[in-house]
């Protein structure tokens, strides 16, 4: 692969921009991150099963956040809050799942665990 030790560009993609933001946040000492799925690059956030089957991991230059978020939590003690409604991939790595229902925050962590068991990825 290409050496990324001194990467720079004037026209970064959405996923590259988000990866740079994440790295800069870590370097600045962030202890928590807030991410909105709606404004995030899909390939930065996830890589679904079909795309994983189509494109070999060695041929894909982007490692999605879902594959590294546990490492951020466990090794760097960085908490992440993700506002999301389109991908259940993060349920597997979530400590707590909050659902907004009629403008009220409801803890649905146990229900999420049931969903994971019923619909494994």
Sign of CA dihedral 77, 95, 105, 107: negative
Q: Which residues contact 104 (CB under 8 A, 6 or more apart)?
A: none
For residue 107, the model assigns a pLDDT of 99
Mean pLDDT for the chain?
A: 93
Q: Where are the domains of the chain?
A: 14-118
What tens digit of pLDDT does each residue of 4-39 get? 677 777 888 999 999 999 999 999 999 999 999 999
Q: Could you give the C-alpha distances from 37 to 14, 58, 66, 82, 84, in angstroms and in order?
A: 12, 26, 12, 7, 5
When pLDDT is cut at 50, 70 and 90, the band that residue 1 belongs to is low
> pLDDT tens, 71-95?
999 999 999 999 999 999 999 999 9
Q: What is the DSSP letter of 32?
A: E
DSSP state of 117: H
Residue 39: what pLDDT? 95
Handedness of CA 93, 54, 41, 26 (dihedral sign): positive
Give the pLDDT mean for 64-74.
96
């Amino acid at each position: 692969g290409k050496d990324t030790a001194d990467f720079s560009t004037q026209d970064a993609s959405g996923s590259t921009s988000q990866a740079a933001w994440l790295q800069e946040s870590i370097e600045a000492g962030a202890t928590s991150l807030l991410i909105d799925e709606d404004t995030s690059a899909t390939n930065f956030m996830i890589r679904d099963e079909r795309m994983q089957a189509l494109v070999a991991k060695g041929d894909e230059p982007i490692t999605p956040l879902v594959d590294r978020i546990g490492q951020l939590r466990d090794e760097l003690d960085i908490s992440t809050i993700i506002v999301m409604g389109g991908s259940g991939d993060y349920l597997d790595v979530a400590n707590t799942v909050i659902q907004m229902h009629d403008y009220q925050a409801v803890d649905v962590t146990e229900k999420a665990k049931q969903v994971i068991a019923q619909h494994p990825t």
